[in-house]
């Protein structure tokens, strides 16, 4: 999933530091559909669920209801051009908030509060999501992310202890976001040095924005794919495999890449694409913005093969407790399309198990589990309950 990012210029430095009595702090997180979610309080209210996202230059509150619940006395309205479909979106920009994460102290951290929930992150994640936090969390601290035990450990850069056998990858921090240079190897063997924004908020492995105009599409691809939500609403494009991606000494083979049709003219920093959590979660990762460094150490998932959804169904969680699964889109020619599934159909059960008893990750894993696997779905379609057999189809 692609999440938007925009920057906000302020005269005050916005950052976090450790409580003076601590040398490091460990924060648990939950990985939900490739979103890294932590809990925090704002102005003594909460807890709220925020996505930790290196692709965001300003703390963003995506749930408009928080504007009232956290009692923000001073806020002004900002128009954000191109955000969502149609006219400019509006957001409140707050004065400094007190962001409370145990063991950390926030300094002058403000936020933009969207007046309308444009991204429906709660429906995507299947749990309440209230916003995103990025640059302010990373700019002053060294941040270690361990995907094996679901913890984020932060310390001051001078106290950083690098992984044993960790590999230093140079990065730059530009316009409040980190960038890395990698080598993209296409299916035809063409090697391309690419500048990539490191984007923890993007669920895909990699997205490449300049390949199609210069080199065309790989021989085998999925067309008309919905790649997520961006500055101008849904991003459409293509999905295909690369031969490999090289980052530092690491060569990641058979990686699945998105190729968006998105207009990149709004970008303040020219780039070739972004590196998402689909790759990063295969490592333990340390970000040290002050040292222009990222450290990588492969974890147990490093050699897992990359698989894309084999159902062709995009869906979201709905209802009071986010326990209903509603189809948002069915890709033409996919397994779901072949059996007549449509937008707004509701999936009630999979293999006799109610979806209310399943997480969205469990459903995702089922739908990309094995080529030619048959799944029995109970689906509300045309106001009646149908039983249909969905036979998964690997398309790339």
Tell me the C-alpha to C-alpha distance, in Å, between residue 171 and each of 4, 155, 318, 350. Answer: 21, 19, 39, 44
Select from 123, 8, 12, 140 the least CA-distant residue to 63: 123
For the record, the structure tokens of 151 come out as 């913890």
Q: Is 393 within 8 Å of 335 (Cβ atoms)? A: yes
Helix H or strand E encompassing 332: none
For the record, the structure tokens of 136 come out as 């302010």
For the record, the structure tokens of 130 come out as 């209230």
Instruction: Please indicate, yes or no, whether residues 164 and 283 belong to a single structural domain of this protein.
Output: yes
Residue 172 neighbours by CB under 8 Å, 6+ apart? 178, 179, 292
CA distance 77 to 89: 10
Which pairing describes strands 374-381 and 346-350: parallel, antiparallel, or unpaired?
A: antiparallel
Domain boundary among 105, 134, 155: 155
Cα-Cα-Cα-Cα dihedral of 297, 281, 241, 192, to 10°? -50
pLDDT in tens, 88-122: 567 888 889 999 999 999 999 999 998 888 888 99
Question: What's the confidence (pLDDT) of residue 142?
Answer: 98
For the record, the structure tokens of 6 come out as 């925009």
CA distance 168 to 293: 7
- Establish if 307 belongs to a structural domain: no
Q: 211 versus 391: which is more confidently predicted? A: 391
Instruction: Please indicate, yes or no, whether residues 329 and 266 belong to a single structural domain of this protein.
Output: no
Question: What's the confidence (pLDDT) of residue 233?
Answer: 59
DSSP class of residue 290 equals G
Select from 242, 282, 236 the least CA-distant residue to 263: 236
Instruction: Please indicate, yes or no, whether residues 278 and 380 belong to a single structural domain of this protein.
Output: no
Q: Is 255 within 8 Å of 205 (Cβ atoms)? A: yes
- Establish if 249 belongs to a structural domain: yes
Question: What's the confidence (pLDDT) of residue 6?
Answer: 45
Sign of the C-alpha dihedral computed for residues 255, 358, 36 and 259 taken in this order: positive
Instruction: Please indicate, yes or no, whether residues 189 and 277 belong to a single structural domain of this protein.
Output: yes
Question: Where does the pLDDT of residue 249 fall: very low under 50, low under 70, confident under 90, or very high at 90 and above?
Answer: very high
For the record, the structure tokens of 54 come out as 């290196």
Instruction: Please indicate, yes or no, whether residues 21 and 130 belong to a single structural domain of this protein.
Output: yes
**CATH number reported for the structural domain that contains residue 354 in this entry:** 2.30.42.10
Please give the average per-residue pLDDT across 76-88, as a whole number: 58
Q: Phi-psi bin for 159: left (phi > 0), alpha (psi -120 to 50), beta?
A: alpha
Instruction: Please indicate, yes or no, whether residues 219 and 325 belong to a single structural domain of this protein.
Output: no
- Establish if 284 belongs to a structural domain: yes
Please give the average per-residue pLDDT across 299-312, as a whole number: 94
Which pairing describes strands 283-288 and 250-253: parallel, antiparallel, or unpaired?
A: unpaired
- Establish if 328 belongs to a structural domain: yes
CA distance 179 to 203: 17
Select from 286, 289, 226 the least CA-distant residue to 260: 226
pLDDT in tens, 316-339: 999 989 999 999 999 999 999 999
Instruction: Please indicate, yes or no, whether residues 133 and 25 belong to a single structural domain of this protein.
Output: yes
**What percent of the chain has a predicted confidence (pLDDT) above 70?**
90
Instruction: Please indicate, yes or no, whether residues 129 and 88 belong to a single structural domain of this protein.
Output: yes
The yes-or-no verdict on residue 149 having pLDDT over 60 is yes
φ/ψ of residue 395, rounded to 5 = -110, -15
Question: What's the confidence (pLDDT) of residue 327?
Answer: 96
**CATH number reported for the structural domain that contains residue 149 in this entry:** 2.40.70.10
Instruction: Please indicate, yes or no, whether residues 268 and 369 belong to a single structural domain of this protein.
Output: no
The DSSP bridge partners found for residue 236 are 226
The yes-or-no verdict on residue 153 having pLDDT over 70 is yes
- Establish if 304 belongs to a structural domain: no
Q: Which residue has the tokens 């999440």?
A: 3
CA distance 213 to 351: 43
DSSP class of residue 202 equals -
- Averaged pLDDT of the chain: 89
Instruction: Please indicate, yes or no, whether residues 145 and 234 belong to a single structural domain of this protein.
Output: no
| 185-199, 221-235, 369-383: least confidently modelled range | 221-235
Instruction: Please indicate, yes or no, whether residues 150 and 273 belong to a single structural domain of this protein.
Output: no
Question: What's the confidence (pLDDT) of residue 13?
Answer: 82
Domain count, the chain: 3
The yes-or-no verdict on residue 59 having pLDDT over 70 is yes
**What percent of the chain has a predicted confidence (pLDDT) above 90?**
71
Rg, Å, the chain Cα set: 21
Please give the average per-residue pLDDT across 211-223, as a whole number: 85
The yes-or-no verdict on residue 299 having pLDDT over 90 is yes
The yes-or-no verdict on residue 168 having pLDDT over 70 is yes
Question: What's the confidence (pLDDT) of residue 3?
Answer: 43
- Establish if 193 belongs to a structural domain: yes
CA distance 260 to 334: 19
Three-state secondary structure call for residue 289: helix
C-beta atoms surrounding 390 within 10 Å:
25
Domain boundary among 136, 155, 174: 155
- Establish if 303 belongs to a structural domain: no
64: domain range?
A: 15-155
Instruction: Please indicate, yes or no, whether residues 286 and 168 belong to a single structural domain of this protein.
Output: yes
Which pairing describes strands 131-133 and 45-52: parallel, antiparallel, or unpaired?
A: parallel
| 54-63, 83-92, 252-261, 306-315: least confidently modelled range | 83-92
CA 371 vs. chain centroid, Å, equals 26
- Establish if 308 belongs to a structural domain: no
Q: Is 257 within 8 Å of 129 (Cβ atoms)? A: no
CA distance 173 to 198: 10
pLDDT in tens, 198-214: 999 999 999 998 888 88
């Amino acid at each position: 999933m692609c999440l938007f990012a925009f920057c906000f210029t302020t005269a005050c430095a916005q950052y976090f530091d450790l409580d003076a009595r601590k040398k490091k702090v460990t924060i648990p997180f939950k990985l939900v559909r490739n979103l890294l979610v932590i809990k925090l309080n704002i102005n003594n209210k909460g807890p709220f669920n925020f996505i930790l996202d290196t692709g965001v230059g300003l703390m963003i509150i995506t749930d408009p209801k928080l504007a009232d619940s956290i009692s923000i006395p001073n806020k002004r309205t900002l128009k954000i051009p191109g955000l969502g479909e149609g006219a400019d979106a509006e957001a409140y920009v707050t004065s400094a908030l007190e962001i409370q994460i145990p063991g950390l102290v926030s300094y002058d951290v403000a936020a933009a509060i969207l007046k309308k929930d444009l991204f429906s992150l709660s429906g995507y994640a299947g749990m309440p999501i209230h916003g995103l936090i990025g640059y302010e969390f990373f700019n002053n601290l060294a941040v270690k992310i361990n995907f094996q035990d679901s913890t984020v450990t932060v310390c001051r850069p001078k106290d950083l202890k690098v992984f044993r056998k960790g590999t230093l990858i140079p990065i730059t921090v530009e316009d409040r976001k980190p960038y890395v240079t990698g080598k993209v190897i296409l299916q035809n063997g063409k090697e391309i040095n690419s500048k990539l924004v490191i984007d923890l908020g993007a669920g895909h492995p990699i997205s490449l924005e300049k390949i199609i105009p210069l080199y065309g599409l790989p021989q085998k691809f999925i067309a008309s794919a919905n790649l997520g939500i961006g500055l101008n609403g849904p991003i459409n494009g293509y999905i295909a495999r690369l031969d490999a991606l090289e980052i530092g000494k690491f060569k990641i083979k058979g990686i699945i890449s998105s190729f968006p049709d998105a207009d990149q003219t709004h970008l303040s920093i020219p780039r070739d694409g972004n590196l998402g959590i689909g790759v990063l979660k295969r490592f333990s990762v340390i970000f040290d913005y002050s040292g222009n460094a990222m450290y990588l150490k492969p974890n147990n998932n490093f050699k897992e093969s990359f698989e894309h959804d084999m159902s062709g169904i995009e869906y979201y969680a709905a209802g009071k407790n986010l326990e209903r699964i509603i189809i948002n889109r069915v890709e033409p020619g996919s397994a779901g399309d072949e059996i007549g599934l449509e937008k707004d159909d509701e999936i009630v059960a999979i293999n006799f198990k109610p979806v209310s008893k399943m997480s969205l990750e469990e459903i995702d894993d089922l739908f990309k589990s094995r080529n030619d696997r048959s799944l029995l779905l109970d689906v509300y379609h045309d106001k009646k309950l149908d039983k249909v057999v969905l036979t998964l189809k690997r398309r790339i």
